[in-house]
Amino acid sequence: MDPNETPQCRRNLEALQAKAAEKRREKEAAPVPVIHIGSATCGIAAGALDTRQAFQEALAERGIEARIHTVGCVGHCYAEPVVIIDHPDSGFPPIFYHEVTPGKARMLVKLFLEQGDPRFEHIYGATIENDMIPWVQEFPRFSMEHRLVMDRCGRIDPEDIFEYLDDGGYAALAAALETEPSDIVAEIGAAGLRGRGGAGFPTAKKWSFAAATDGEKFVICNADEGDPGAYMDRTILESNPHQVLEGLAICAYAVGASRAMVYVRAEYPLAVRIVTRAIEQARSEGILGESVLGSGFRLDMEVFQGSGAFVCGEETALIRSMEGFRGMPVHRPPYPVEAGLFGRPTVINNVKTLASVPPILENGAEAYRSVGTADSPGTAIFSVVGDVVHPGLVEIPMGTTLRTLIYDVCGGIAKKKSFRAVQIGGPSGGCLPESFLDTPIDFDSLIEAGAMMGSGGMVVMSEDSCVVNVCRYFLEFTQKESCGRCTFCRIGTRHMLEILNRLTCGEAVEEDLERLENLAHDIREGSLCGLGKTAPNPVLTSLRYFREEYEAHVREGRCPGMMCRPLIAYYIELDKCARGCDACVGCCPTDAVFTTSTRKKGIDLELCVKCGECMVACPPEYDAVRKISPAHLAPVVERSPKRDKEAKDKA
Ligand X SMILES: Cc1cc2nc3c(=O)[nH]c(=O)nc-3n(C[C@H](O)[C@H](O)[C@H](O)COP(=O)(O)O)c2cc1C
Residues at the contact surface with ligand X, assessed by CB under 6 A: 195-199, 201, 203, 222, 224-226, 311, 313-315, 348-350, 353, 455, 529-531
- Check binding of 606 to another protein (CB under 8 A): no
- Check binding of 42 to another protein (CB under 8 A): yes
Residue 189 vs 630, nearer CB to ligand X: 189
Is the bond preceding 333 in cis, omega lying within 30 degrees of 0?
yes
- Check binding of 394 to another protein (CB under 8 A): no
Looking at residues 179 to 218 of the shown chain, list those that interact with another protein (rule: CB under 8 A): none
- Check binding of 436 to another protein (CB under 8 A): no
Kindly state the smallest distance separating residue 301's Cβ from ligand X, in Å. 17
| Strand ordering across the sheet containing 457-462 | 392-397, 379-386, 457-462, 419-424, 430-432
What is the C-alpha to C-alpha distance for residues 404 and 93, in angstroms, rounded to an integer?
Answer: 30
Residue 400 vs 455, nearer CB to ligand X: 455
| Burial grade of 120 (CB within 10 A; 0-12, 13-18, 19 or more) | exposed
Kindly state the smallest distance separating residue 531's Cβ from another protein, in Å. 14
Specify the pairing of strand 419-424 against strand 430-432: antiparallel
Contact 603, 637 (CB under 8 A): yes
Contact 567, 504 (CB under 8 A): yes
- Say which entry of another protein, ligand X, none residue 356 contacts (CB below 5 to 8 A, set by partner kind): none
Residue 362 vs 464, nearer CB to another protein: 464
- Say which entry of another protein, ligand X, none residue 294 contacts (CB below 5 to 8 A, set by partner kind): none
Q: Which of 304, 498, 596, 627 binds another protein (CB under 8 A)?
A: 304
| Burial grade of 183 (CB within 10 A; 0-12, 13-18, 19 or more) | exposed
Residue 208 vs 482, nearer CB to another protein: 482
Is the bond preceding 228 in cis, omega lying within 30 degrees of 0?
no
Q: Which of 118, 195, 294, 457 binds another protein (CB under 8 A)?
A: 457
- Check binding of 613 to another protein (CB under 8 A): yes
Residue 201 vs 325, nearer CB to ligand X: 201
Cβ neighbours of 640 (radius 10 Å): 12
- Say which entry of ligand X, another protein, none residue 411 contacts (CB below 5 to 8 A, set by partner kind): none
- Check binding of 615 to another protein (CB under 8 A): no
Which amino acid is it at 561? G
Q: What is the DSSP letter of 629?
A: S
- Check binding of 364 to another protein (CB under 8 A): no
Q: Residues with Cβ < 8 Å from 211, sequence gap 6 or more? A: 181, 182, 185, 254, 255, 256
Kindly state the smallest distance separating residue 50's Cβ from another protein, in Å. 10
- Check binding of 461 to another protein (CB under 8 A): yes
Kindly state the smallest distance separating residue 78's Cβ from another protein, in Å. 5
Kindly state the smallest distance separating residue 202's Cβ from ligand X, in Å. 8
What is the C-alpha to C-alpha distance for residues 358 and 5, in angstroms, rounded to an integer?
Answer: 22
Q: Residues with Cβ < 8 Å from 89, sequence gap 6 or more? A: 31, 33
Please work out, in degrees rounded to the nearest 5, the angle formed at the alpha carbon of residue 611 by the alpha carbons of 606 and 615: 100
- Check binding of 324 to another protein (CB under 8 A): yes
Q: Which of 87, 234, 352, 485 binds another protein (CB under 8 A)?
A: 234
Residue 315 vs 395, nearer CB to ligand X: 315
Calculate the CA 588 to chain-centre distance: 34
Specify the pairing of strand 379-386 against strand 457-462: parallel
Kindly state the smallest distance separating residue 473's Cβ from another protein, in Å. 5
Looking at residues 469 to 508 of the shown chain, list those that interact with another protein (rule: CB under 8 A): 470, 473-474, 477, 483
Kindly state the smallest distance separating residue 587's Cβ from another protein, in Å. 5
Cβ neighbours of 574 (radius 10 Å): 14
Residue 251 vs 562, nearer CB to ligand X: 251
- Say which entry of ligand X, another protein, none residue 282 contacts (CB below 5 to 8 A, set by partner kind): none
Residue 353 vs 404, nearer CB to ligand X: 353
Residue 104 vs 206, nearer CB to ligand X: 206
Which amino acid is it at 59? L
Please work out, in degrees rounded to the nearest 5, the angle formed at the alpha carbon of residue 197 by the alpha carbons of 319 and 406: 150
Nearest of 145, 147, 73 to residue 352 by alpha carbon: 147
Residue 556 phi/psi, 5-degree rounding, is -110, -5
- Say which entry of ligand X, another protein, none residue 348 contacts (CB below 5 to 8 A, set by partner kind): ligand X
Kindly state the smallest distance separating residue 187's Cβ from ligand X, in Å. 17
- Say which entry of another protein, ligand X, none residue 235 contacts (CB below 5 to 8 A, set by partner kind): another protein
Residue 123 vs 452, nearer CB to ligand X: 452
Sequential DSSP letters for 304-351 = EEE-S-GGGGSHHHHHHHHTTS------SSSPTTTS-GGGS-EEEEEH
Calculate the CA 19 to chain-centre distance: 34
Looking at residues 58 to 87 of the shown chain, list those that interact with another protein (rule: CB under 8 A): 77-78, 80
- Say which entry of ligand X, another protein, none residue 197 contacts (CB below 5 to 8 A, set by partner kind): ligand X
Residue 201 vs 342, nearer CB to ligand X: 201
Q: Residues with Cβ < 8 Å from 635, sequence gap 6 or more? A: 571
Nearest of 115, 192, 159, 198 to residue 426 by alpha carbon: 198
- Check binding of 228 to another protein (CB under 8 A): yes
Where b means 16+ CB within 10 Å and e means fewer, 27-39 reads: eeeeebbbbbbbb
Contact 88, 128 (CB under 8 A): no
- Say which entry of another protein, ligand X, none residue 78 contacts (CB below 5 to 8 A, set by partner kind): another protein
- Say which entry of another protein, ligand X, none residue 379 contacts (CB below 5 to 8 A, set by partner kind): none
Residue 154 vs 226, nearer CB to ligand X: 226
Kindly state the smallest distance separating residue 239's Cβ from another protein, in Å. 12
What is the C-alpha to C-alpha distance for residues 204 and 377, in angstroms, rounded to an integer?
Answer: 14
Q: Residues with Cβ < 8 Å from 333, sequence gap 6 or more? A: none
Kindly state the smallest distance separating residue 276's Cβ from another protein, in Å. 13
- Say which entry of another protein, ligand X, none residue 128 contacts (CB below 5 to 8 A, set by partner kind): none
- Check binding of 567 to another protein (CB under 8 A): no
Which residues would be at the binding site for another protein (CB under 8 A)?
40-42, 44-46, 77-78, 80, 227-231, 234-235, 266-268, 304-305, 307-309, 321-327, 342, 383, 385-387, 391-392, 423, 426, 457, 459, 461, 465, 470, 473-474, 477, 483, 587, 589-590, 609-613, 616-617
